[in-house]
Chains A and B, each alone.
Chain A
């Protein structure tokens, strides 16, 4: 299994990082988080249409770049670092992964190129965002394929052209393709803690849909693992950004005639954070390598998600605390990352849920 990034992967990171620093500065984040749509279509076109960032993990045959979880993770990490606002995570990571894992030809031919090229904005609608075991209870597919039921929260569904919905029907749990704006579909934007990631309530009342694949327990676990690995990357990028800016702040802010970074209480807190982030980053990168190699611990993605969520929140808490009063203001950018950390901590399973999932894989259920 790979243990370091290749030159090509390093180059990909440099390119993505440069593009996002330019296209997604904090001012742009603030603008998009305040808007209803939540992203800038021009920038979406540049990053996904022109630069292909939504297709890094999609096979070349379907318009992607043919990378794997590592490449997807690299993009996610840089997106998380800059808090990029847009449906990349919903479309490329969630919907793209669901299609790759659950669908088949000819749906791949039909659906993947749009997702990979950014011309289709897709999302994955799950009726439970806590863990795979809860998925499939609230949305049903009738004999004629029409869907009924509700998903309490779906990421970026308000802008989706294509909704991939897990629903149970006669053939068990399946993945169903629904067009945005289909009759009977209601997408109701929700008020959220983290305004950089939009959520909606999605209700289905006899919505026409097409079943594109089966979602067995194994498939759902694989989808979950890939999404969690990418999310862990997104989180570690954010944690790293918060940590760096916080450490820099302690070098510049003076109290008692000296930089606050010279106070040992702050130094030691930062050193402990460095260790926590280092461990989480190693687990995160490892999770993608395991997925690509089809080897390693079967619970590698859960380790990454659990450890990184905790590390991100530690970095976020320190980010506010070490700035003092200014850290608690709306004007200061720290809270943007704090809120993303909080949202990501619970999306696709809290750390505790992932730790239990690990233990179940390792030792069986309690």
Chain B
């Protein structure tokens, strides 16, 4: 379908269905039934089988008309894509709809104090007792865990096989006595991530996803969505307060809670969009050295965007695996963020010492400078992306490994 045709169809549908006086969940259910909630999903699951470009056209129309979209930002998106890819029909039926309507929020329970990069070295324990999975252990750096309804949990179910084979993947109900989330303060002052303690937390057997011992495969699926480069990244749309109508009030409330942990995420990507405006406003645009660095940034940004669009197109044609292609995009995003932070520093000069509402761009620039270090850690560090690219894209030989054989016998932290 051509962009124009999509535009016409979605506009006509919105004319007939979009009303600002509907309750939020009711509206999103209508959106789901209409097939406009996740157009890139298959038809049997609320979608239309659109390409990502076609989906972007729909999103643009929504933005232009200030239409409230389905809830898909952050870990919600990871959950829905993972469940769509690896879940049973029963799980898709139970979980997808409340994600898209915004009734359920999610978090990702992967990292542990003892294993981060080495995700498969995790030691949270899940044991089947009286037909239910009982979970004990600790997770850490889990964004949104405090207000999440469910968590994407990886835990060890077999200690006697090599580490990747003993992992299972669960959809964990966070609202139960055995789960406790405590906030952690980050270097940029925000408290987005948490530590999560699981003490005899319970998972019903139907919430194991992908089968027992198959958790590593499912986790890789989640990671591939997380690392898909930046062309795909969906931003939480923020409203400017001028929109009138009950649905906007509810949506505002949702954004306040669900996207609060992410308000600084654009800053960790370097705020490339602010570079030229800031350079003009400060007259740094006339400085030859700064111009060189800005031009490098523009090249990096444009090139990475083109490359990731290309990778996406080839991925659809079935010629490239998703994880390695995503790793190139993720590493590029780090390079871009660091270059942007460097350029913002050049532009601000001594003013880069200041933060808060009176500093440059209402404190945004200061937040860029102290948030960019996160992008090369979260979602797999730069070093891990380089390992993946070199070994899986370039086929370079694996190094010496000290973690083979039964997991029980491997040296670990703590």
Chain A residues contacting B396 (CB-CB under 8 Å) are: 247, 250-251, 261-262, 266-267, 270
Which of A3, A264, A278, A279 makes the CB contact (< 8 A) with B387? A264
Q: Which of A278, A297, A355 contacts B328 (CB 8 A)?
A: A278
Q: Which residues of A contact B397 (CB under 8 A)?
A: 251, 258-259, 261-262
Q: Is B310 an interface residue (CB 8 A)?
A: yes
Asked if B285 contacts A363 (CB within 8 A), the reply is: yes
Residue numbers of B with Cβ under 8 A of A are 276, 279-280, 285-288, 291-292, 294-296, 298-300, 302-304, 306-307, 309-310, 313-314, 328, 331-332, 335, 383, 385-387, 389-391, 393-400
Distance to closest chain B CB from A208 (angstroms): 43
Name A's interface SS. Answer: helix
Cβ of A197 within 8 Å of any chain B Cβ, yes or no, is no
> If A275-B335, A307-B303 touch, does A264 touch B295 (CB 8 Å cutoff)?
no
CA–CA, A272 to B394, complex, Å?
12
A142 within 8 A of B: no
> Judging by beta carbons under 8 Å apart, are A281 and B399 in contact?
no
Q: Are B295 and A356 in contact (CB under 8 A)?
A: yes
Q: Considering the chains assembled together, what is the distance between the CA atoms of A280 and B302 in angstroms?
A: 10
Main secondary structure of the interface of B (DSSP, over half): helix
A303 near B393: Cβ-Cβ < 8 Å: no
Report whether B299 and A307 are in contact in the complex, using a CB–CB cutoff of 8 Å.
yes
- Asked if A303 meets B299 with Cβ closer than 8 Å, knowing A251-B396, A279-B332, A359-B294, the reply is yes
Which residues of A (271-287) have their CB < 8 Å from a CB of B?
271-272, 274-275, 278-283, 285-286
Which residues of A are found within 8 Å of B314, using beta-carbon distances? 4
- Selected A-B contacts with CB under 8 Å, 24 pairs: A261-B396, A262-B396, A262-B398, A263-B399, A267-B390, A267-B396, A268-B383, A268-B387, A270-B390, A271-B387, A280-B303, A282-B306, A282-B310, A283-B303, A286-B306, A303-B303, A306-B299, A307-B299, A356-B288, A359-B294, A362-B298, A363-B291, A366-B288, A366-B291
Q: Given the known A-B contacts A270-B396, A366-B287, are A297 and B302 also in contact in the complex, defined by CB atoms under 8 Å?
A: yes
Output the least CB separation between B339 and chain A (Å).
12
Closest residue of B by beta carbon distance from A261: B396
| A164–chain B nearest beta-carbon distance, Å | 31
Indicate whether A352 reaches chain B with its CB closer than 8 angstroms. Answer: yes
Q: How far is the CB of B230 from chain A (nearest CB, A)?
A: 13
Per-residue contact bits, chain A 281-311, to B (CB 8 Å; 1 contact, 0 not) = 1110110000000000100000100110000
A262 and B399 contact, Cβ closer than 8 Å, known pairs A271-B390, A355-B291, A359-B291: yes
A interface bracket (residues with beta carbon within 8 Å of B): 35 or more
A10 to B: closest C-beta gap in Å: 12
Asked if A358 lies at the interface with its beta carbon under 8 angstroms from chain B, I say yes
A95 nearest CB across to chain B (Å): 29
Interface centre among A250, A251, A282, A358 (most CB of B within 10 A): A282
Task: Please tell me if the beta carbons of A363 and B280 are within 8 angstroms of each other in the complex.
Answer: yes
Tell me whether B304 and A279 are in contact (CB under 8 A): yes
A303-B299, A359-B294, A363-B279 given; name 8 further pairs at CB < 8 Å: A258-B400, A268-B390, A271-B386, A272-B386, A282-B304, A285-B306, A306-B295, A366-B287
A-B contact count (CB 8 A): 130
Q: State which residues 211-251 of A face B: CB under 8 Å.
A: 247, 250-251
- Which residues of chain B come closer than 8 Å to A356, judged between CB atoms? 288, 291-292, 295
Residues of A within 8 A of B400 (CB): 258, 262
Q: How many angstroms from the CA of A356 to the CA of B292 in the assembled complex?
A: 6
Task: Give the complex CA separation of A282 and B309 in angstroms.
Answer: 10
User: In the complex, what distance in Å separates the CA atom of A266 from the CA atom of B117?
Assistant: 20
Contact indicator A267/B387 (Cβ below 8 Å): yes
Cβ–Cβ < 8 Å partners of B395 in chain A: 247, 251
Bitwise interface map of A from 339 to 366 toward B, beta carbon under 8 Å scored 1, else 0: 0000000000000101110110011001
Within 8 Å CB of A251, what residues of B?
395-397
Point out the residue from A247, A266, A275 that lies within 8 Å of B331, measured CB to CB.
Answer: A275
Asked if residues A352 and B310 are in contact (CB atoms below 8 Å), the reply is no
Query: Which single residue of chain A is at the shortest CB-CB distance from B280?
Result: A363
Separation of A364 and B386 alpha carbons in the complex (Å): 38
Q: Which residues of A contact B300 (CB under 8 A)?
A: 279, 307
Residue of B nearest to A284 (CB): B303
A66 to B383, CA, bound (A): 47
- Which A residues are in CB contact (< 8 Å) with B393? 271, 274
Instruction: Name the contact of B286 in the complex, choosing from A271, A278, A281, A366 (C-beta under 8 A).
Output: A366
List, in ascending order, chain B residues with CB within 8 A of A307's CB.
299-300, 303
A297 to chain B: closest CB distance in Å? 7
Nearest chain A residue, comparing its CB with the CB of B295: A355
Known: A356-B295, A359-B295. A275 touches B306 (CB 8 A): no
B149 CB, min distance to chain A CBs, angstroms = 37
- On chain A, the residues within 8 Å of B313 by CB distance are 3-4
Give the distance in Å from the alpha carbon of A258 to the alpha carbon of B399 in the complex: 9
Who on chain A is nearest to B394 by CB? A247
Bound: A260/B359 CA distance, A:
49
The 6 closest A-B pairs by CB, nearest first: A279-B303, A355-B295, A267-B390, A271-B386, A282-B306, A282-B307
- Whether the pair A278, B386 counts as a contact (CB closer than 8 A) is no
Residue of A nearest to B288 (CB): A366
Nearest-neighbour CB distance to chain A for B306, whole angstroms, equals: 4
Given contacts A3-B310, A268-B383, A279-B332, contact A355 B389 (CB under 8 A): no
| Given A258-B397, A261-B397, A303 and B285 contact (CB-CB distance below 8 Å) | no
**B302–A275 CB distance below 8 A:** no
Alpha-carbon distance A258/B280, docked complex (angstroms): 53
Q: How far is the CA of A203 from the CA of B310 in the complex (A)?
A: 47
Nearest residue (CB) in B for A281 is B307
Distance in angstroms between the alpha carbons of A73 and B314 in the assembled complex: 20
